[in-house]
Amino acid sequence: MTGSTRSSDGLDDRRKRLLFRCWHRGTREMDLILGRFADAEIEKLSEEELVQFEYLMDVPDPDLYAALTGKMPPAPDYANRLFDRIQSFRSADHDA
């Protein structure tokens, strides 16, 4: 079980892959942060946001986790509105 509460039914292949990748990051903390965000938002992401989200999938877990939790500033390469949305979503989701 991945922890996902969302079915991939109705998603295009690109979004299905992203949803899967979010729940299979390698560290449970990142699975919970990105997976929960993807469950709630993947269907609504614009083309530009999908590109940004795909980029985030390649950021190493320790770096991305430190930036999302405020332990270090995000790298300029991914300091954007989508990153801010994920960070805000994470802050509102007290379990992650």
* Helix-then-strand count for the chain, H and E: 5, 0
pTM of full prediction above 0.85: yes
| Distance of alpha carbon 18 from alpha carbon 23, whole angstroms | 9
Whether pLDDT at 95 is above 90: no
List the single range of 3-12, 35-44, 77-86 with lowest mean pLDDT.
3-12
Q: Which residue has the tokens 């986790």?
A: 65
Structural domains of the chain in order of their starting residue, each with its CATH number: 13-92 (1.10.150.250)
What per-residue confidence (pLDDT) applies to 26?
Answer: 87
